[in-house]
């Protein structure tokens, strides 16, 4: 008798539910190269990248991963051609508007982190609306880093802390890593257990600099639009082979 076929929702048999990462972060890189390799404009790669993200979010939810944080736009990405930047802003807004009902239905809690005040006004409104409507959802915590820079985040935290000291509300002696954590944009999500970067670049490009101190890093040459469930499965298998020591023996 043949085995029952695995449905998409089921965790693959070679993954150990007890040893899955709680929080996965992803640097979604390689959209431009994906498009270029097919003789298409870069923006087509960004469009395809959205499909990859939707699938990854669903997969994380199906497999019981509590938090997914993705890098959508860095503080350095403003340096790209204006056409591409404008397209991305329009894409973020359109996708958010189109997907909101589904996020609600799937009980996803969406959050955006980064310097949101510098984004186009209409995008800011969609962001506000989506965060407000989904804030009590509990199936998965989905965080999108948009106009995000890790150094800027650390500077912002320092500024907040310094202000509290200046106002006499905080004793400098009370500043420790736990307090610092609470001043980061990610204070309610915790640190990623697994950081995935697609497209083969061996760098972190200013993403979650503080939070990845002890994250396991997985780099794949696969370009983001091709990063499917099977690829994510491979990343999780690799993660489960790792021996996380946190500096101990």
Interface ranges with Mg ion (CB under 5 A)? 29
Q: How far is the CB of 86 from ligand IPE (least distance, A)?
A: 12
Task: Please give the angle made by the CA atoms of 66, 68 and 74, to the nearest 5 degrees.
Answer: 160
Active-site pick, 14, 16, 29, 160: 29
Q: How far is the CB of 219 from ligand IPE (least distance, A)?
A: 12
Under rule CB under 6 A, residue 77 binds ligand IPE: yes
Under rule CB under 6 A, residue 74 binds ligand IPE: yes
Question: Nearest-CB residue to ligand IPE?
Answer: 32
Residue 158: CB atoms within 10 A of its CB come to: 13
DSSP letters for 198-244: -TT----TTSSTTTTTT-EEEE-SS-GGG--HHHHHHHHHHHHH---
In the numeric block, the tokens 């000291």 are attached to 165
101 given a catalytic annotation: no
Q: How far is the CB of 29 from Mg ion (least distance, A)?
A: 4
Under rule CB under 6 A, residue 33 binds ligand IPE: yes
- Asked if residue 240 lies in contact with residue 12, where contact means CB atoms within 8 angstroms, the answer is no
Under rule CB under 6 A, residue 27 binds ligand IPE: yes
| CB closer to Mg ion out of 29 and 193 | 29
- Asked if residue 34 lies in contact with residue 200, where contact means CB atoms within 8 angstroms, the answer is no
3-class state of residue 4 by DSSP = coil
| CB closer to ligand IPE out of 161 and 235 | 235
CA 176 and chain centroid, separation: 26
77 given a catalytic annotation: yes
Crossing angle for the helix pair 82-105 and 121-134, to the nearest 10 degrees: 20
Residue 139: CB atoms within 10 A of its CB come to: 15
Q: How far is the CB of 78 from ligand IPE (least distance, A)?
A: 11
Under rule CB under 6 A, residue 149 binds ligand IPE: no
Categorise residue 69: left if φ over 0, alpha if ψ from -120 to 50, beta otherwise.
beta
Active-site pick, 14, 16, 51, 77: 77
Binding mask 190-209 for ligand IPE (x = CB under 6 A): ---------x-x-x-x----
Summarize as ranges the residues that interact with ligand IPE (CB under 6 A).
Answer: 27-33, 71-74, 77, 88, 199, 201, 203, 205
Q: What positions carry a catalytic annotation?
A: 29, 77
């Amino acid at each position: 008798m043949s085995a029952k076929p695995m449905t998409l929702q089921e965790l693959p048999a070679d993954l150990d539910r007890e040893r899955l990462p709680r929080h996965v972060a992803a640097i979604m890189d390689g959209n431009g190269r994906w498009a270029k390799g097919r003789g298409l404009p870069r923006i087509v790669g960004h469009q395809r990248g959205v499909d990859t993200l939707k699938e990854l979010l669903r997969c994380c939810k199906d497999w019981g991963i509590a938090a997914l944080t993705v890098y959508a736009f860095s503080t350095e990405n403003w340096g790209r051609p204006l056409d591409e930047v404008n397209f991305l802003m329009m894409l973020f807004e359109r996708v958010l508007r189109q997907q909101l009902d589904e996020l609600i239905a799937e009980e996803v809690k969406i959050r955006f982190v980064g310097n949101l005040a510098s984004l186009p006004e209409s995008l800011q409104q969609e962001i506000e609306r989506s965060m407000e409507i989904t804030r009590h959802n509990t199936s998965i915590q989905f965080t999108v880093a948009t106009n995000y820079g890790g150094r800027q985040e650390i500077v912002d935290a320092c500024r907040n802390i310094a202000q509290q000291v200046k106002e006499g509300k905080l004793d400098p002696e009370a500043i420790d890593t736990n307090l610092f954590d609470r001043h980061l944009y990610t204070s309610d999500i915790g640190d990623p257990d697994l950081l995935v970067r697609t497209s083969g670049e061996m760098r972190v490009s200013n993403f979650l600099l503080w939070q990845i101190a002890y994250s396991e890093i997985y780099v794949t040459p696969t370009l983001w639009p091709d990063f499917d469930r099977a690829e994510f499965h491979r990343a999780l298998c690799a993660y489960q082979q790792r021996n996380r020591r946190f500096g101990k023996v």
